[in-house]
Structure 1
């Protein structure tokens, strides 16, 4: 696998991620369960975006973008654009994660003060999962070039499917993962603080919060299957793929609390994400006929997202029915099922 990542760069990046997670967990333990305000979410979102651009500036400088020769400057510029494009795509696709997280939290009536811990665990799981999938994907592409065509076809199909599903109210009650969990796990009817497992009437039960964590993990897996092939259309360098993914995911928790209250205002964004996925899929399918420059990919992706967000502000959403579903009484295993 060809990569710009030297052992030193990988080590520094790994140390940064561990430090960021340690600070996050320390802050979480000190604050305890509490409702995250829009101000807190906005500040942390700006911090993570700023840190991401500080990283890409450091990457550009370390590759010789400031004082290197012409070849070094060209490489530095190319890798910086690849990182920013990958980061933007992953950040945009993460918006869909946010909307699904909101649906899960609403369905299970998760108290706002417990959501922060659930998302923290979800972020940690997503980082580990994506690291493994990216390294495996990079190895497969290095060994089998035709895998790019498989990724491209999958993204094109996913984009078309997302377009047709956009605007429809998801039915979590019919979700196969939730049905599978209910058949195999005895679920308590109520929350018990931030506990995941309790003993009630002599029976060991998972709390609704534990089921929410499991569903968040499944959502992370599903979205990783979509988003990781998308960034391989921009670059096959494992260092750029992993770092842009990680920086996008680190700010996911803050972005959730920032967007949770205004998600209806960007109701057309799913259509834009569908077009972005289809565009990237086509880019991968024609890669041996014409290689679309990364800067074009960045421009097209940014333009699509900006246009759909602006249109969302001017075109009112269609009326939607339904609402939050109470969870109590819905979680007991069926007769004869495992506990």
Structure 2
């Protein structure tokens, strides 16, 4: 059992809040188009922060907990790339100006962290009280894996999001971004801008992704602190990663397939852990080092295979994947519409 003092929790949360606040202030004070060099610098910075934390954590609490942290971080980082697909779709659908995308992503990361913190606390409590929750989490991940694999060639339609549809019906809206404001006064009346709708779309998508990612990271560690920091450091680098790789995402044609394999594998790991604890200690478990090796191998194979495939056929385009079927677009409407992950 990992013993984390209140001071360590406070310092960790303070560091994360500080980094988020810096991002938010930078986005609000200096709206601008984030270039490749800036995105690269920030991506490297956040990766170094995550790795540095992991090294300190392993030295302070032992190699086993350190391995759990790095496994959880890699799981969350790989799932966050799927988030990026949806972020790109949202930005494109609502034609968000490039100078405002920085702020939108920062708000989206804050919302994701808040929702995931709630799910982490709830998940940790349930796992400590009811061992069969490992079985339920495992079955949920296997179901998610199967559905994601079945609909791996589909994209979400954020306009079909229930939150977005409701907001469009009940709120007075303007088509103008009005300098990046969420609410503005236009012709004497207060109206919501498209940026407000974009944040609602990202927030609701973040909620759906949290339902997938939290059980997944609990599959590599049952320690709430490790789950929290793995999520936090994976999400902190998401803004910079978006600007760095958004032009390359279309080439990761096998990403949804790889994520479905990872989720299915972790689901089996959770079920085996439940069986080992509740049925018989003779039932083998999958260790964290093996999990880490499998996850890294799948991600490397998926990335290399995707690049080879798209190099042979440049017309191929990657998709975010969906957990339910939707009507396919007609042949003369390649844009089509999809169904958001749920």
| TM-score of the two chains, using structure 2 as the length reference | 0.86
Q: CA deviation at 1:290?
A: 2.4
CA distance in 2, matches of 1:160, 1:215: 25
Correspondence for 2:40: 42
CA distance in 1, matches of 2:216, 2:112: 16
Where structure 1 has 5 or more consecutive residues not aligned to the other structure, the ranges are: 64-75, 326-339
State which of 283, 291, 316 in structure 1 corresponds to 2:269: 283
CA distance in 1, matches of 2:159, 2:28: 33
Q: CA deviation at 1:319?
A: 5.0
Correspondence for 2:191: 205
State which of 162, 178, 184 in structure 2 corresponds to 1:192: 178
Is the aligned partner of 1:59 residue 2:45?
A: no
Report the 3-state secondary structure (helix = DSSP H, G, I; strand = E; otherwise coil) of the residue aligned with 1:315. Answer: helix
Q: CA deviation at 1:232?
A: 0.6
Q: Deviations over 1:119-157 (max 9, x none)?
A: 111111111221121111101100111111111111111
Correspondence for 1:332: none
Correspondence for 1:12: 11
Correspondence for 1:105: 91
Report the 3-state secondary structure (helix = DSSP H, G, I; strand = E; otherwise coil) of the residue aligned with 1:193. Answer: helix
Distance change (3 Å), C-alpha of 1:217 and 1:47: same
Q: CA deviation at 1:182?
A: 1.8
CA distance in 2, matches of 1:169, 1:240: 32
| TM-score of the two chains, using structure 1 as the length reference | 0.87
Aligned residue pairs, count: 311
Distance change (3 Å), C-alpha of 1:197 and 1:254: same
CA distance in 1, matches of 2:64, 2:51: 15
Correspondence for 1:84: 70
CA contact (8 A) 1:4 1:239 kept: no
State which of 204, 211, 226 in structure 2 corresponds to 1:218: 204
CA contact (8 A) 1:4 1:237 kept: no
Correspondence for 1:330: none
Report the 3-state secondary structure (helix = DSSP H, G, I; strand = E; otherwise coil) of the residue aligned with 1:122. Answer: helix
Report the 3-state secondary structure (helix = DSSP H, G, I; strand = E; otherwise coil) of the residue aligned with 1:205. Answer: strand
Correspondence for 2:20: 21
State which of 277, 289, 295 in structure 1 corresponds to 2:289: 295
Where structure 2 has 5 or more consecutive residues not aligned to the other structure, the ranges are: 277-282, 318-332, 338-342
Is the aligned partner of 1:174 residue 2:160?
A: yes
